[in-house]
Amino acid sequence: MSAPGIALDGTHDPALRSWVASANPDPAAGTTGLGLDADFPIQNLPFGVVAAEDDAAAGDWRIGVAIGGSVLDLRAAVRSGAFGGPDWDALTGASLNAFMALGPPSWERVRRALSQALRAGSPLQAALRPCLLDRGRVRHRVPAHIGDYTDFFTSIHHATRVGRLLRPDQPLLPNYRWVPIAYHGRSSSIVISGTPVRRPRGQLRSGELAEPLLAPTRRLDYELELAAYVGAGNALGAPVPIEDAEAQVFGLCLLNDWSARDVQAWEYQPLGPFLAKNFATSVSPWIVTNQALAPFRAPWSRDPGDPQPLAYLDHPRLRTHGAIDIRMRVGLRTPAMIARGADPFVVSRSSYRDAYWCLAQLVAHHTVTGCNLRPGDLLATGTQSGPLPTESGSLLELTQGGKEPLVLPTGEQRRFLEDGDEVTLAAHCECPGAARIGLGVCTGTILPASD
């Protein structure tokens, strides 16, 4: 199995230090993974699309790389003469699609060049320092044009808990252990972290109602997910073999698939989610590349009592490197907590290592029919819940469908989200012998339904 982006090289050396001082780990800063400078050391180098505060209204967006508390403006860096060539030409626009389309060799060359240029003692320091922006003072937008968005269902723990609420006698349907289940989402309503989310209206139906009514959802929920941006893509009619699937993954971000559970319960049979999920999907601004995640690869395995994947979804390298230990968490702040400046209360933690289906399998299955993926397409993992009930990635699970309210430190209770609530997703990776890196945060605040 070819594995671009999985092999370790000098860019992962935990001893590397940057001339950007804020990128160098400070043990006293802690490891909360809530978007601090600690998320973006020189070993990370994630990509995003940013604009200086004064330039956003004018549409002056450019591709940047997060480094500590700064962003390296790549258009400015190329114009300074520090970098040049076809790889870098693709990084001077306002979207990452062209760079994603170049494929792993280009991605790896750029990563090595950036690592060299940003290391302590680099001869390019003088040329690049004027190209730095203050990360706390830039605006973000979705970093690529997302033509298509597919949301998978890769956590067997989430699938089982939700299934138990809907079908107590058969929580997990027979196909789950054989098929990476997914639905096609709505790319037009994917929004960048920080964008407020308006409570949606939809058809609601409960047992005491003779007929459905149109009303604001009463059971608004979040979903803790990751999502992979597709790289070069494949031609229509040309499935991607499992051994080549990793080459299609440019990188990962956090994703919140906001869900109206009462709308979903009424509409989802027989074709699955529709209006319950099309009103907003939030993504974090930084794409952490497949290469940066190499030190945190872990064996992927299947319980011996479960059916093993069909041949097109299996390969020996999956068993050694198929999983990724990304440690995820959900923070919640109520309006009262926000008013007094309180930190988000962490309501759950989980790890992507526990996913039943891995990234390579998602790509191989999505394309087995000959479906063509394109640069910038988004493949979400579905809610990432762990084996313990406290590791649930949604309120639907944490509150047993609203029956057992979540009690916050303020004494407030939540069965589902209320207007003014702020949800923050965060994630990081750490392991012995590697520098800790983070994915930043994905945040959204609930606005009341429109009149």
Q: What is the pLDDT of residue 1?
A: 39
d(CA 417, CA 420): 9
- What is the CATH superfamily name and number for domain 10-141? Fumarylacetoacetase, N-terminal domain (2.30.30.230)
Does the annotation count 158 as an active-site position?
A: yes
Beta-carbon contacts of 403 under 8 Å, excluding residues fewer than 6 positions away, are: none
47 token code pair: 């990509």
pLDDT of residue 2: 43
Whole-model pTM: value is: 0.95
- Any idea what DSSP says for residue 285? S
pLDDT at 267: 85
Q: Provide the CATH number for the domain formed by 149-447 in this structure.
A: 3.90.850.10
The predicted pLDDT at position 122 comes to: 98
Q: Which is the catalytic residue, given 157, 158, 321, 365?
A: 158
Residue 229 has what pLDDT? Answer: 98
Q: 23-32 burial, b for 16+ CB within 10 Å, e for fewer? A: bbbeeeeeeb
10-141 and 149-447: identical CATH topology: no
Could you tell me the CA-to-CA distances from 444 to 46, 154, 221, 333, 447 in Å, in that order? 21, 23, 12, 11, 10
Residue 309's alpha-carbon distances to 59, 313, 319, 363, in angstroms, are 47, 6, 12, 14
Place of tokens 């490197």: 321
Site of tokens 């992507």: 352
| pLDDT the model gives residue 56 | 72
What residue segments make up the domains of the chain, in order of their start?
Answer: 10-141, 149-447
User: DSSP 3-state assignment of 336?
Assistant: helix
- On whether the CB atoms of residues 186 and 278 are closer than 8 A, the answer is yes
φ, ψ at 109 (rounded to 5°)? -65, -45
pLDDT in tens, the chain (451 residues): 346 667 899 999 999 999 999 999 876 654 443 445 689 999 999 999 999 987 777 789 999 999 999 999 999 999 999 999 999 999 999 999 999 999 999 999 999 999 999 999 999 999 999 999 999 999 999 999 999 999 999 999 999 999 999 888 888 999 999 999 999 999 999 999 999 999 999 999 877 778 899 999 999 999 999 999 999 999 999 999 999 999 999 999 999 999 999 989 888 888 888 988 999 999 999 999 999 999 999 999 998 999 999 999 999 999 999 999 999 999 999 999 999 999 999 999 999 999 999 999 999 999 999 999 999 999 999 999 999 999 999 999 999 999 999 999 999 999 999 999 999 999 999 999 999 999 999 999 999 999 8
Q: Which two tokens stand for residue 169?
A: 């006698």
